[in-house]
Structure 1
Amino acid sequence: MLTSLIWGVQAVVSRQSVADGLTAADVTILRFAVASLLLLPLALRRMRPFPVGRLGWRRAAILTALAGAPYALVLVGGAAFAPALHASVIVPGLIPVMTVALAFAVLGERPGILRMIGLAFVLAGIAAFGSQALGGAALGASGAGERAWIGDLFFVANAVMWSVFGLLARRWGTDAIDVTIATCLLSLLVLPVFALTMPMRISEVVWSAIALQAVYQGALVGVGALFLYTKSVELLGAARATLFLPLNPVVTALAGAALLGEYPSLIEVAGMLLVIAGMSVALRAR
């Protein structure tokens, strides 16, 4: 539940970064620089060999590619095109769908009928968001509305990446703390590449905007949410862990309206309710 709340507000904070003039590379670098600084003392004591520990270099590199800096770059990049609510519906909505599909294909875990019904509702709700985004593009909507479908594709990619991450974390029997530390520290290796090859405007932005992203994305998302999610996978399994997410869209809808002035359309509200209902049904399934 804590992960759900953190992720729900993250969509709004990521969207705010766009309004404040920060780029996706700016936010990603802030996130992992701060998270790594916070985790470094623990890493020096715990991780042998440093910085991957018991994960080993290969597994740590794979998990970092899926849930580290590349994941964050895609997520914040999507926020430049689509409203915050799209991220908070599409990513957590598709994660359980993709996880169940992958768990069945790779691990042979068969979902029950009730869970399948719930996930069907989730897909219907996400389809409503997709139709809204494509409709806005077809009608030539101005601003983010015209390009929301681009952001939606980014968020679909995020869902796939996170689903594979959760499945591998469970299959390899990873430790939540080791994964959190390794993905943050290994992400530092690609940050110079982002800085040299992507647009950056951090020097032009006020300090309050930088501090917001550093604290929320770095401490709460980069350390807190990743640890909590990996721990839930460790305790509950990949499929059930992803179902504790129905609060995400509600939190984002309220925060987005209050802080960003982004109000969902009727189609988006209907899609959000379908996704919430679907995740709630799937959560009750065995």
Structure 2
Amino acid sequence: MSSHTRWFGILCGLATALIWGVQSVVSRHAMLTGLSPADVTILRFVSASAVLIPWAATRIRPFPVGSLGWKRAWFMALLIGPLYSLILVGGAHFAPALHSSIISPGLIPVFTALLVFLVTGERAGRMRLAGLCTIVLGIAIFSRDALMATPSRPDAWIGDLLFVLIAAMWSVFGLLARRWGASSVEVTVASCVLALPLLGLVALALPVHMAQVPLAEVLLQALYQGVLVGVVALYLYARTVAMLGAAKATLFLPLVPVVTAACSALLLAEYPSPTEIAGMAVVIAGMVLAFRSPSAN
């Protein structure tokens, strides 16, 4: 690997962590400005589809499901489509932005290891298991204020539970994508395009407020959630994996909560409590240990 390739891969990994880290802040900002989870979900999938469809229509056959097939593609769309977005953004209504980037990314490797063991019997190696246990301990410390409903975090426990559900859904998705040999591009295209007919149900069943919100806020959510998170970050992470390898690409993930914490303080004036700072440090340490360790003995 040339020095140029390595450094470009590092830049792609850093950019991915930056986009994912700021996403929690943007989602929380949407709730604070009067948008609803339905608004953000509709804007996310419409804008992502507007970018992806012209490109994918001539490259993915059959469109839009590709090698996934219709049944598997629909299952993916139901798993990580509008429902996933509604739960994720709904959590941002109750909990500060930092909670999303700590709880969900932290628990994804924990739930994934548990699912792999239940399905295949593969056990995590000792060092990885130590890292996963450290993550669980860190999240318990981090969520102490929310679980005790302290005055500074009265309803955050609701958001935290939703973020736990997000981690479980993403773990199931990751396991199925690996077993089915699905490419990230095909999964993204299929889930976005098949989400479009479901958005009508979202608009009918849940409140939509975007007509009462300034246009700038609507455009921010469409561009950030749909284009940057839904398309650009996917491309950048895929490039990171291609140039550095999957194992090294995961080492950028612990940067996500650091980015979120800094942006939450600067843009939302949301500051973590001492307990949350301690929990975040433990979670990040556990993530680094788990990602650097062999997956099995």
- TM-score of the pair, normalised by structure 2: 0.88
* Residues 180 and 227 in structure 1, CA contact (< 8 A), matched pair in contact too: no
| Aligned pairs for 1:252-263 within 5 A | 252-263=260-271
Question: 1:53 and 1:67 mapped to 2: Cα distance?
Answer: 17
Question: 1:66 and 1:240 mapped to 2: Cα distance?
Answer: 27
* Residues 85 and 249 in structure 1, CA contact (< 8 A), matched pair in contact too: yes
Question: 1:191 and 1:252 mapped to 2: Cα distance?
Answer: 28
Match of 2:47 in 1: 34
* Residues 251 and 292 in structure 2, CA contact (< 8 A), matched pair in contact too: no
Match of 1:206 in 2: 214
Q: 1:110: Cα distance to partner?
A: 2.3
Does residue 1:102 correspond to 2:115, yes or no? yes
| Aligned pairs for 1:1-286 within 5 A | 1=13, 2-135=15-148, 137=149, 139=150, 141=151, 145-226=153-234, 244-286=252-294
Paired letter, 1:165? F
Structure 2 unmatched runs, 5+ = 1-12
* Residues 176 and 231 in structure 1, CA contact (< 8 A), matched pair in contact too: no
Range 266-275 or range 170-179, more displaced: 170-179
Q: 1:112 to 1:94 in 2, by over 3 A?
A: same
Residue deviations 1:67-126 (CA, integer Å, cap 9, x gap)? 222111110000000000000100100011111111222233321111111111110111
Question: 2:277 and 2:202 mapped to 1: Cα distance?
Answer: 36
Q: Secondary structure at the residue paired with 2:19?
A: helix
* Residues 143 and 276 in structure 2, CA contact (< 8 A), matched pair in contact too: no
Q: 1:10 to 1:218 in 2, by over 3 A?
A: same
Range 180-189 or range 60-69, more displaced: 60-69
Paired letter, 1:31? R
Range 211-220 or range 96-105, more displaced: 96-105
Question: 2:273 and 2:258 mapped to 1: Cα distance?
Answer: 14
Q: 1:23 to 1:14 in 2, by over 3 A?
A: same
Range 42-51 or range 212-221, more displaced: 42-51
Range 3-12 or range 168-177, more displaced: 3-12
Paired letter, 1:130? S
Q: 1:275 to 1:113 in 2, by over 3 A?
A: same
Paired letter, 1:181? V
Paired letter, 2:94? F
Where do 4+ consecutive residues of structure 1 move more than 4 Å? Answer: 226-237, 239-244
* Residues 17 and 213 in structure 1, CA contact (< 8 A), matched pair in contact too: yes
Question: 1:155 and 1:196 mapped to 2: Cα distance?
Answer: 25
Question: 1:198 and 1:130 mapped to 2: Cα distance?
Answer: 29
Q: 1:5: Cα distance to partner?
A: 2.5
Paired letter, 1:275? V
Question: 1:192 and 1:230 mapped to 2: Cα distance?
Answer: 31
Identical counterparts, % of pairs:
57
* Residues 243 and 282 in structure 1, CA contact (< 8 A), matched pair in contact too: no
Q: 1:21: Cα distance to partner?
A: 0.8
Paired letter, 1:191? L
Structure 1 unmatched runs, 5+ = none
Paired letter, 1:76? V
